[in-house]
């Protein structure tokens, strides 16, 4: 095991999180410690050495709070408790202590847009107590139909009738996930108390789930139709609307300021918003503008892209040039909701080469790179048959929606049937293809994806230009992507051939020191699916 490592920046004026590499852990699928087939907090603690050895700076843990698990933890019934399937608060405290001992910061999800319908707040609200307007309730139209045309992500109206109140309540996702009314200052106060609870337990930051869904138009105006996009297939009623009224309300920025104010009381706490939708960039910019709002926004540019192209990267980087007052971007190529990138972006026979190429690219981008568990092994998307599906979105929209379960299958620590994940029956099956990429197998191989990831993360840590430098695009043609990361003390040239055809290096590399060669890339030629990274001192 590597020794605990310091934070990347030795400059106290640069916060620890700027340029930090973050490792996302989906707790159900990382490591089971008690044989019930579901991963847990004690299992995460047991495997933290693996994460620290990678050379990342922080972990982000997806929800582990008390929940009926209708949406696997994103339907929370108690924000300040650990669901028994994941362990106890003592297990969480032990995890934080071990992570900090290894030099890892700990980020957790906060879900402020909705709760479970089993939350005591919702029970009080439907009983018209002092929490009557803590959720979004509305009378029916004169004909008894829902108050607006808003649609749910999971299919059907975003409104469910409640006979106890004789009103509809709003839910952007499952009907078991009623929407909080974050316009209400009392709700904001309660959510800030939740954040304080976890900050007091030692967490170092938050990823804020679906933050732009936390406020809806108080007038409940109908959404207009969304324009058709040529070549894009609509699979859900949700996709037919422009969600200008059901989400994305401008008042959200004032709540981000309140949250940032609380974070500031605890020092260098990192706050990162998840913002999706057709207006995501504008909202991400607003949520992170200046010194009084959130630190970063989690970009969706790559998560559902059908191909990794130079133009895609160039466009994403151009949106965050580093202007004064601008927030700091964070990037992921895959996560627990999005299909594994190698299954979207390359042919099966190219997975090994492509996995190392895309990892190098992710770690060279300006911003915070977020690695999803198993990405360091080059895991592919698993095909889960309908009778084994757990994902409610996939079940509701079958077969048009690609199952999220395919990216949530257990981490293969070993290459046996259970993958070293559990002594019981895994909650989702492990495929033979991914078991063959098990961590124990790759640890023993001299040139594995796992070892390449460690080397690339070490390279990022060793060169401040890759963590903090400006991004200067030099070339973005059909397959060639070349950019420079610069600081006063030096510049790092990053050249990628994302295509299959060999190409000459398009820029002059004279006088540069080789830092990394991926799949045979060198200073004069870039074979297909290769990269070359070199540095010039300032």
Give the span between the Cα atoms of 313 and 323, in whole angstroms.
Answer: 18
Q: Which residues pair with 107 in a beta bridge?
A: 60, 205
Give the span between the Cα atoms of 377 and 100, in whole angstroms.
Answer: 24
Give the span between the Cα atoms of 370 and 416, in whole angstroms.
Answer: 28
Give the span between the Cα atoms of 218 and 58, in whole angstroms.
Answer: 38
Give the span between the Cα atoms of 519 and 112, in whole angstroms.
Answer: 44
- β-strand 22-25 against 58-61: which pairing, if any? parallel
Between the CA of residue 483 and those of 157, 327, 330, 477, 511, what are the distances in Å? 46, 21, 18, 12, 17
Give the span between the Cα atoms of 390 and 380, in whole angstroms.
Answer: 18
Half-sphere CA count of 419, side-chain side, radius 13 A = 29
- In 3D, which of 207, 296, 276, 213 has the Cα closest to residue 248? 213
Give the span between the Cα atoms of 294 and 313, in whole angstroms.
Answer: 24
Q: Please identify every residue annotated as catalytic.
A: 209, 265
Give the span between the Cα atoms of 400 and 155, in whole angstroms.
Answer: 12
The torsion angle over the Cα atoms of residues 505, 508, 512 and 516, rounded to 10 degrees, is -10
- In 3D, which of 336, 393, 337, 405 has the Cα closest to residue 174? 393
Sequential DSSP letters for 98-137: HHHHTT-EEEEEEE-SB--TTSHHHHHHHTTSTTTTSB-E
Between the CA of residue 429 and those of 267, 304, 342, 387, 435, what are the distances in Å? 42, 24, 19, 12, 10
Judge contact between 85 and 38, C-beta under 8 A.
yes
Which residues fall within 8 angstroms of residue 74, CB to CB, at 6 or more apart? 63, 67, 111, 173, 177, 209
């Amino acid at each position: 095991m590597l020794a605990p490592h310091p934070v990347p920046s030795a400059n106290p004026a640069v916060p620890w999180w700027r340029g930090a590499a973050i490792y996302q852990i989906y707790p159900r699928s990382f490591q089971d410690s008690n044989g019930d087939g579901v991963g847990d907090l004690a299992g995460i603690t047991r495997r933290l050495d693996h994460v620290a050895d990678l050379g990342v700076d922080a972990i982000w843990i997806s929800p582990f709070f008390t929940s009926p698990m209708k949406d696997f933890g994103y339907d929370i019934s108690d924000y300040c408790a650990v669901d028994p399937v994941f362990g106890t608060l003592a297990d969480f405290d032990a995890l934080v202590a071990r992570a900090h001992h290894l030099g890892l910061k700990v980020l957790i999800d906060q879900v402020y847009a909705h709760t479970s319908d089993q939350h005591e707040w919702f029970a009080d609200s439907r009983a018209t107590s002092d929490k009557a307007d803590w959720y979004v309730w509305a009378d029916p139209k004169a004909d008894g139909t829902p108050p607006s045309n808003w649609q749910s992500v999971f299919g059907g109206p975003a409104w469910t009738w409640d006979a106890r109140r004789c009103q509809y309540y709003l839910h952007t996702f499952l009907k078991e996930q009623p929407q909080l009314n974050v316009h209400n200052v009392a709700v904001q106060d309660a959510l800030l108390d939740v954040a304080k609870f976890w900050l007091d337990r030692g967490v170092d930051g938050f990823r804020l789930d679906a933050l732009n869904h936390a406020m809806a138009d108080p007038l409940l105006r109908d959404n207009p139709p969304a324009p058709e996009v040529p070549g894009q297939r609509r699979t859900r009623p949700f996709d037919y609307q422009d969600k200008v009224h059901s989400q994305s309300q401008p008042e959200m920025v004032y709540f981000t300021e309140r949250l940032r104010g609380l974070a500031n009381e605890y020092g260098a706490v990192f706050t990162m918003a998840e913002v999706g939708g057709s207006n995501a960039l504008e909202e991400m910019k607003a949520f992170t503008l200046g010194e009084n709002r959130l630190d970063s926004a989690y970009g969706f540019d790559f998560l559902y892209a059908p191909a990794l192209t130079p133009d895609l990267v160039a466009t994403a980087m151009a949106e965050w040039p580093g202007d004064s007052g601008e927030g700091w971007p964070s990037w992921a190529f895959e996560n627990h909701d999005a299909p594994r990138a190698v299954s979207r972006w390359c042919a099966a026979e190219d997975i090994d080469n492509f996995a190392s190429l895309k990892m190098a690219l992710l770690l060279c981008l300006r911003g915070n790179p977020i690695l999803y568990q198993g990405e360091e092994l080059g895991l592919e998307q698993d095909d889960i048959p309908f009778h084994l599906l757990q994902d409610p979105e996939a079940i509701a929209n079958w077969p048009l929606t690609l199952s999220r379960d395919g990216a949530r299958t257990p981490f293969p620590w070993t290459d046996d049937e259970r993958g070293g994940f559990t002594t019981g029956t895994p909650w989702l099956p492990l495929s033979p293809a991914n078991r063959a990429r098990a961590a124990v197998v790759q640890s023993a191989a001299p040139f594995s994806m796992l070892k390449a990831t460690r080397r690339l993360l070490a390279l990022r840590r060793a060169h401040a230009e890759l963590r903090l430098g400006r991004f200067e695009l030099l070339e973005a043609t059909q397959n060639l992507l070349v950019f420079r990361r610069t600081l006063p003390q030096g510049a790092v040239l990053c050249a990628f051939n994302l295509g299959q055809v060999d190409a000459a290096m398009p820029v002059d590399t004279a006088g540069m020191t080789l830092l990394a060669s991926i799949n045979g890339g060198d200073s004069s030629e870039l074979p297909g699916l290769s990269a070359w990274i070199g540095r010039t001192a300032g």
